[in-house]
Amino acid sequence: MGGPLPDPFAGSSEWAPGPPRPVVPTPATMGGSLRGRRVLIGLPGHGWRADLRADEKVVQGSRTYVPVMPEGEWYRAEAEQTEVFAPLVPVERVWVEELGMADTANKRADVMSRLVSMDEPPRRNPVAALDADGLTGRRVVQILEDGSERRDLRAVTELHTSDEGDICARVTTELDWYRWSWTGKTPRTLTVAVHLLWLE
C-alpha cells in the first residue's frame, strides 16, 4: 500500500515538446502598429494591469496616447463591428506584449529568483499545465506537433481524464471565450493533451 503513483507517460512514445516562448513586455514608445495588440498599462514603481488591447496611437497637442480597452470589449467590438469607449493612456505608460526566446533552462524555485524590477512589467514565463495551480479561464498555449504555437486560447476546464484515458484539458478560442460572456452561447472547445498545454 502507498508507493509511488504510476507515471501517466511511462513507456509512452508521446512526443514531449519544449516550452513556448515567454511574454516579454516592450515599451509602446518603441514604435510599430498597436491595433489589436495585447498591452499592459501602469506606472513604474506602482503596478501593472493586463488583459487589455490597444488601438493605434493618437497625438493630441504635443502628447502621444494609446487607446486601451479591456480585452473582452475589444473582441466584442471586432466581432459585432461596434464602437467601444477606449480611454487614452499616455504612450510612456503602455507596454506591448511581445514573444521572447524560449528558455529551456531549469528555473530555480527560491524566492530570490522570482524578484523583479519595478521599473517595467515583468517577463512572463510559460508554466506547464501539469504544474499549474489552476487552468479554467486562464490564457494557454497549445504546442502543435510541428513545434509551432497556437495562442489566443483560454482553458475552459481543469485537467481531467478523457474517455480514452488521457490526461487533458478543454480549450476554446479567446473570441469564443468572451462571446460566451456577452451571448451566453457555450463555446466550441478542443481537447488538448496535458503535455501539449502551457499557461501563457
φ, ψ (nearest 5 deg) of residue 114: -95, -5
The whole-number pLDDT of residue 1 equals 41
Q: Where are the domains of the chain?
A: 23-99, 126-199
Asked if 72 contacts 17 with a C-beta cutoff of 8 angstroms, the reply is no
pLDDT (tens place) for every residue of the chain, 200 residues total = 444 433 433 334 455 688 999 999 999 999 789 999 999 999 999 999 999 999 999 999 999 999 999 999 999 999 999 999 999 999 999 999 999 987 765 555 678 777 888 899 999 999 999 999 999 999 999 999 899 999 999 999 999 999 999 999 999 999 999 999 999 999 999 999 999 999 99
Q: What is the DSSP string of 58-116?
A: EEETTEEEEEEEEHHHHHHHHHHT------EEEGGGEEEEEE-----SPPP-SGGGG--
Asked if 68 contacts 54 with a C-beta cutoff of 8 angstroms, the reply is yes
The whole-number pLDDT of residue 108 equals 55
CA distance 35 to 33: 6
pTM of the predicted structure, to 2 decimals? 0.84
For 40, 94, 131, the CA distances from 160, given in Å and listed in that order, are 32, 38, 14
